[in-house]
Chains A and B, each alone.
Chain A
Amino acid sequence: MFLWDYTLVQWLNHLIAQSERTFFAALFLSDRVPWVLCSAVFVALWFVHGERMNRMDETQDPVYRNRVVVVTILLGAALAFIAARILMALWDRPRPLAWMELQVLMPPEKWQKVVEAVGTGKAFPSDHTAFWGAVSAGLFLLSPWLGAVGTLATLFFAALRIALGYHYPTDIIAGYAIGWMGVAIAYALRDRMRWFINPILQLFDQQPAWMYGFGMLVLLDITQRFAWLFAILTILFGFHVPG
């Protein structure tokens, strides 16, 4: 661990511990909000040119082109998230809240529940930042402006997680890099995955009710950090994705 890791955690923690309201806001914003925003971004990108595809041709139909990118980002983000989870299990680094003296402006019993939910170990790398980083990297594929806004939002939410003592800055940097790598791999393999992506996109046009119902489930699972997907994998194949 670097010295600035420690210093930055202290400094950001001091910033959010100005009042109970700012502390509560940091807790609220760092929990589900970024995940819901990521899902909302996927929805916005999916519908950016309207509801229906005209033809499965990247040069002719902007709807199709966008949807291929959305699926690519989603696959890349999922890949980055799983990779980060695996690394977390292999490298069991204690979280700052496990040993550092942080300012916590809430009743100890409530804070204890937060600590139990987050855990005291497995800080490196940040799986949250891996996913958000992948989404912001994906946004660069569509527009540099969107990518910049996504990156700023990622940094903001990551800073909140540092301030609360969930992560060190190096966890965040590593998570962000994994996110970029996830999207880069998915984007590089994009053409080879057409056999998988095209039928899905076609189904959305042929059976919209069922596919959008299913899509809603997938988006809700993203807001739950893929908890249901991991539960299904555990039931079906017996292996447990750590985290």
Chain B
Amino acid sequence: MTTWSVWLLQWILKIDTQLLRWANEWVARSPRSFYKALEVSHRVPWILAAVALAWMWFWGDEGMVPVRYRLSRWESRRRVLSTIIALVGGFFGARALQDVIPRLRPVAVAPLQVPIPPQAWEYVRSSLELQGAFPSDHAVLLFVIAGAIFTVSRRLGWIAGLVALYFSVLRVGLGFHWPSDMLGGALVGWTALAVVIFFERHISVLWDFVVRLFYRYPRVIYPLAFVFLFDLSQKFSALFGLVSWVLGHEVKH
């Protein structure tokens, strides 16, 4: 390693540790706030992602030419499909990087304030410690959705960005991730989104086919889309439960 890369790593670690300490102090100000952060940071981002995708599906002007909004509803629907692909790509990218980069989570190595009973905390810790920290797959989800909303509405995109930042602070404060993991997750997510949006025109035929299915068979496709969004809101637990049942052993996700 060159001198400057060692210096850069040390600088990142210093900033990471300082930000982690601030976030942890804020989250651990009381047992109630800690429990709240645990509960909110776990499921709510996934529920909000499902709601945001439903919102985006019905955003935009109804005709082919946008008048009131930045884009037509048809274009907005193409963007929803691109966002789903970016999410899948971002997740696989993040999981692949987690396997390659051997970074431990703060819960495993950093001294944290944890104002809840040790056995309850141990239960949370044990489910996390084995998974790599960098980059955060929650950050991929949060920032892909925020980025996608930004492409259809600037103002609401900024608000979604702030919401993503809030959840990021919660996850850092709980010691699940270092701040740079969240930044890494955001960059992985945005890269995936940018790549898919860049190629959106080339795959618009496929997207148009899917969107047309919704107009042609609404009574079939909309319920299927709902089941997909429901499972997204549950971190795909139904999908993995089904796979586990078929295979006869538990599949971790």
Determine if chain A interacts with chain B.
yes
**With A40-B227, A209-B59 given, can you name 12 additional A-B contacts, CB distance below 8 Å?**
A21-B245, A44-B220, A44-B223, A51-B215, A209-B55, A209-B56, A213-B55, A213-B58, A219-B226, A219-B230, A220-B50, A220-B230
Contact of B218 among A25, A39, A50 (CB under 8 A): A50
Say yes or no: A220 contacts B47, CB within 8 Å. Answer: yes
Set of chain B residues within 8 Å of A91, measured between Cβ atoms: none
Set of chain B residues within 8 Å of A211, measured between Cβ atoms: 58
B contact residues vs A (CB 8 Å cutoff): 47, 50-52, 54-60, 215, 218-220, 222-224, 226-227, 229-230, 233, 238, 241, 245, 248
Within 8 A of B (CB), among A24-44: 24-25, 28, 32, 36, 39-41, 43-44
Q: In the assembly, what is the distance between CA of A220 and CA of B59, in Å?
A: 20
Q: How far is the CB of A66 from chain B (nearest CB, A)?
A: 10
Contact of A43 among B55, B226, B238 (CB under 8 A): B226
Q: Report, as a range, how many residues of chain A touch the other chain.
A: 20 to 34
Instruction: Given A39-B226, A216-B50, check contact A28 B56 (CB 8 Å).
Output: no
Is the contact region of chain B dominated by helix, strand, or loop, or is it mixed? Answer: helix
Contact of A41 among B54, B55, B223 (CB under 8 A): B223
Within 8 A of B (CB), among A186-224: 208-213, 215-217, 219-220, 223
Q: Which residue of B lies closest to A223 (CB)?
A: B230
Say yes or no: A209 contacts B47, CB within 8 Å. Answer: no
Residue in A25, A43, A48 whose Cβ sees the most chain B Cβ within 10 Å: A43
Set of chain A residues within 8 Å of B55, measured between Cβ atoms: 209-210, 212-213, 216
Say yes or no: A213 contacts B222, CB within 8 Å. Answer: no
For this complex, 25 residue pairs linking A to B, each with C-beta atoms less than 8 Å apart, are A21-B245, A21-B248, A24-B245, A25-B245, A28-B245, A36-B227, A40-B227, A41-B223, A43-B222, A44-B220, A46-B222, A47-B219, A209-B55, A212-B54, A213-B54, A213-B55, A213-B58, A215-B54, A216-B50, A216-B51, A216-B55, A216-B226, A219-B230, A220-B50, A220-B230
Q: In the assembly, what is the distance between CA of A209 and CA of B77, in Å?
A: 12
Q: In the assembly, what is the distance between CA of A25 and CA of B241, in Å?
A: 10
Q: How far is the CB of A207 from chain B (nearest CB, A)?
A: 9
Q: Which residue of A lies closest to B223 (CB)?
A: A40
Q: In the assembly, what is the distance between CA of A212 and CA of B57, in Å?
A: 9
Q: Which residue of A lies closest to B226 (CB)?
A: A43
Set of chain A residues within 8 Å of B241, measured between Cβ atoms: 28
Say yes or no: A47 contacts B222, CB within 8 Å. Answer: yes
Say yes or no: B245 contacts A39, CB within 8 Å. Answer: no
Q: In the assembly, what is the distance between CA of A204 and CA of B238, in Å?
A: 30
Say yes or no: B245 contacts A216, CB within 8 Å. Answer: no
Say yes or no: B58 contacts A209, CB within 8 Å. Answer: yes
